[in-house]
Amino acid sequence: MDARLGDTHVRFRQEVRAFLDRELTGDIREGARRQAGIAADPSVGVAWQKKLNAHGWGAPAWPKEYGGTGWDAAQRQIFDEECIRAGAPSVWVSGLQLLGPVVMRFGTSEQKAFFLPRILDSEHYWAQGFSEPGSGSDLASLQMPAVRDGDDYVVSGTKIWTSHAHWANWIFLLVRTEKTANKRDGITFMVTPADAPGITVQPIISMSGEHETNQVFFDNVRIPVRYRIGAEGQGWDIAKYLLEFERSGAYAALSQSYLDIARRNARIPDPVTGERLWDDPCFRRDYADAQLRVTAQSWTEKRVISALSSGKNAGDALASILKVRGTEAQQASFEVSVTSLGAFGMADQREALRPGSNTPPIGPEGALQPTARHLNGRAASIYGGSNEIQRNILFRFIADGRIP
Ligand SMILES: Cc1cc2nc3c(=O)[nH]c(=O)nc-3n(C[C@H](O)[C@H](O)[C@H](O)COP(=O)(O)OP(=O)(O)OC[C@H]3O[C@@H](n4cnc5c(N)ncnc54)[C@H](O)[C@@H]3O)c2cc1C
């Protein structure tokens, strides 16, 4: 692989830096500094997405014909790295990363014309209604029935762990339109406005104290047939396509930023004893372990990009490998960053993390986020298909010879 950047990409990096210097203004930067979950609070994330979109950078991964940037894989990685380095907020991905590609591939021309511009502009804020109580890893066992009645489907039941549903104004769903011998055959993909009569959202508070996920109840909700994406019974194929986008992702840059926090803090001498955590062999072992994982992940991500940029297929197994190794590297780096804070790692910073809060953060520079990130990041090896399930997938690749 050739991981060197050519002149075009070096110039592109400068262009991104100049844009971030100019556009990442005080409020947005401050809001991002308080982000502890997977995405910024919508008050910050939506404002940032609108700025990106106004500049033509709203959808780095989308093709140009749908309003995307048309960037190559290396440009996308550079953009991600620079955004993390500059402290830009992470934009909520359900619309951009998951639903957008589905609409492009399976939607009608009316659906494309209606949904895609509204996703780009964040006018539609999407939640993903796939999991149900009892149907997570075994997603195809989902039960929520949708019964055709004239020009509508009538949907009743419940979805769980629905992230950001309390902010979303639209939800995409997998529902069961038929009970078939093969449970994958009777599943259909549809979307609904989140304020449709009969929908209620109940919060689930995570161990980091955040409200990110919800249980959503559907009581005879009428969903017009025009909001079905693809054919009746095609939902499983659509879900598999969507999940490829959920699993591929860049983990190394964010993980490295937390290792940088750890290195900085561990070198600050204790005010009483003068000792530095950096000189503690146990800390150094954990730090080195996390750094090795993150460096390896970074090279795997570069390898994928190098393959994609030269038009090669990166390999089917890579989405699973990136997810397993990426989330584990990230969890290790978050954990080390908490350890580096010593007693400050135990401080309850929930109030200081609230957007708009004037409660000052406790502890040294960079002490605000690590504990919340660490607690929040435990879920990364569960959502998007748990790491155990990814290992099962990898085993199947090995068993049938697709991975030597
Ligand atoms: C923070 C968070 C946000 C989420 N957001 C969303 C969302 O927005 N929309 C949505 O639809 N869902 C969401 N989910 C749900 C997520 O996709 C599921 O939690 C996940 O698929 C696991 O399903 P489960 O919780 O039912 O656990 P289970 O499937 O019951 O699994 C329990 C444990 O058993 C293991 N296990 C299960 N089957 C096997 C097997 N065959 N082999 C080996 N091990 C196995 C799993 O790895 C796991 O450790 C979210 C979850 C979390 C935690």
For the chain, give percent helix, strand, coil, nearest 5: 50, 15, 35
Which of 139, 144, 161 has the most ligand 1 atoms within 8 A of CB, as the residue to mutate? 161
User: Which among 397, 255, 269 has a CA at the least distance from the CA of 335?
Assistant: 255
pLDDT for residue 309: 58
Ligand 1 pocket residue status of 391, Cβ below 6 Å: no
Segment 67-87, tens digit of pLDDT: 999 888 778 888 988 998 899
Q: Is the dihedral of CA 262, 84, 367, 347 positive or negative?
A: negative
pLDDT for residue 204: 97
Segment 24-59, tens digit of pLDDT: 998 898 888 888 888 999 999 999 999 999 999 999
Q: Is the dihedral of CA 75, 240, 109, 162 positive or negative?
A: negative
In whole angstroms, how far apart are CA 200 and each of 135, 156, 161, 205, 206?
Answer: 20, 11, 14, 16, 19
Verify whether residue 81 is a known catalytic residue: no
Ligand 1 pocket residue status of 377, Cβ below 6 Å: no
| Alpha carbons 59 and 62: distance in angstroms, whole number | 5
Q: Is 34 helix (H, G, I), strand (E, B) or coil?
A: coil
Structure tokens at 180: 């078939």
81, 82, 246, 328: the active-site residue: 246
pLDDT for residue 312: 57
Structure tokens at 319: 């989405």
pLDDT for residue 7: 86
φ/ψ of 358, rounded to 5, equals: -105, 15
Ligand 1 pocket residue status of 163, Cβ below 6 Å: yes
pLDDT for residue 207: 87
pLDDT for residue 313: 52
Give 186 Cα–ligand 1 centroid separation in angstroms: 21
In whole angstroms, how far apart are CA 277 and each of 113, 274, 281, 337, 374?
Answer: 56, 10, 9, 12, 19
pLDDT for residue 308: 60
Question: Which residues in the chain show pLDDT less than 50?
Answer: none
The full set of domains in the chain, from first to last, is: 7-91 (1.10.540.10), 126-233 (2.40.110.10), 248-399 (1.20.140.10)
pLDDT for residue 304: 75
Q: Is 303 helix (H, G, I), strand (E, B) or coil?
A: helix
Give 136 Cα–ligand 1 centroid separation in angstroms: 5
Ligand 1 pocket residue status of 262, Cβ below 6 Å: no
pLDDT for residue 307: 66
User: Which among 267, 372, 390 has a CA at the least distance from the CA of 321?
Assistant: 390
Q: Are 36 and 44 in contact (CB under 8 A)?
A: no
